[in-house]
Amino acid sequence: MSNHEIGYAAVLIRNETKQKLKEFRRSLSDRDLNQERRIVTAALEHCLSCSETMKKVLQKIPEVVKADLERYEP
């Protein structure tokens, strides 16, 4: 079964992040309007258009890299 949506492309996120996104979506009253793809698109659009938010995201990247490295260490 395919869940391809016209105008959308796949984005990889960690399983933990996906779970947090699902929990966030479940907490919203209008889940039809606030589908995961729309939440992620809105968040990324905000991030890409707001220099202060982008600075915070860039500061978070080393933490994400460290978690990735720890995950795959033998």
- 27-40 residue pLDDT tens: 999 878 788 999 99
| Residue-level pLDDT at 2 | 62
CA angle 1, 38, 50 (to 5 degrees): 145
In a domain? residue 51:
yes
Give how many domains the chain has, as a whole number: 1
Tell me whether residue 1 is in a domain: no
Digit-coded pLDDT (tens) for 38-70:
999 999 999 999 999 999 999 999 999 999 898
Residue 50 belongs to a domain: yes
Q: How far is the C-alpha of 29 from the C-alpha of 35, rounded, in Å?
A: 11
59 versus 71: the higher-pLDDT residue is 59
Residue 62 lies in domain: 15-72
Q: Is 48 part of a structural domain of the chain? A: yes
Is 2 domain-assigned? no
For residue range 17-27, what is the model confidence (pLDDT) as tens digits?
999 999 999 99
Give yes or no for residue 1 having a pLDDT over 60.
no
Q: Look at residue 21 and tell me if it is in a domain.
A: yes
Domain membership of residue 10 (yes or no) is no
Q: What three-state secondary structure class fits 13?
A: coil
The reply to whether the predicted model has a pTM over 0.85 is: no
Q: Is 8 among the domain residues? A: no
